[in-house]
Structure 1
Amino acid sequence: MRPDLFLSGALDLDADQDAWVPQADGVWFKPLLLSVSEGYYVNLLRVTKSGVLSRHRHSGPVHAMVLRGTWHYLEHDWIAKAGDYAFEPPGETHTLVVPDDCCEMITLFHVSGGYVYV
């Protein structure tokens, strides 16, 4: 049996800035759980600039909970705001965009399966 995982203060978004891993200019992620044996990960994505982040496709389902700011996908007509939840079905291709009026976006993602930039 695998042990439980407990992260104190995992959603204290402004604490422990060293835990954020730089991904690109103005983009960081904070890994919360990486499960190689079960094929999923949970992380926080932080973006501090507007623009297109990436066009990508997931082989498995994705759950997203917006904690701060806003974002949307070019391929959909909804806008994800703080407090919103989004589900992405396996195989969907989409392009994440942070709007000009958003100074910081942070979203918790639970991602299953592979991730391919297209």
Structure 2
Amino acid sequence: MHNDHDALIRQLDALLDVEREALLSGKLEELQNIVTEKEDLIHRLGEADVDQIGQLSPVNDKVVRNQALLEQALKGIRSVAKKLGEIRQARKTFDTYDQRGHKNRIEAETAPSVEKRA
């Protein structure tokens, strides 16, 4: 049983390295499979008889490190989504300010549609 526990820790440790590489290289599409596998390993470790919690310390450090990377990736994604929303909005309206600092919004005219006839 102890060997199974050690093997699970080694697998989780290696998987955390793969997860880190995916985060650093921007391969976010790989994270879903990694998360599923990681959850399975953590679940199996939870069922194992943990006799030496110290063995999990290096793995825990990697989990914390990867969590910080994931939070930064999500922050970047949110920033891009916000910027894209602003660009879309800029196509529809244009904000100006008068001498007193009052905001004026100019709505963009809708592009006339062109109809093709054969």
Tell me which interval the TM-score lies in, with the shorter structure as reference length.
under 0.3
Q: Which has the higher contact order (CA 8 A, sep 6+)?
A: 1
Relative to its length, the structure with more helix (as a share) is 2
Q: Given the two structures, how large is their TM-score scaled by the length of structure 1?
A: 0.24
Relative to its length, the structure with more strand (as a share) is 1
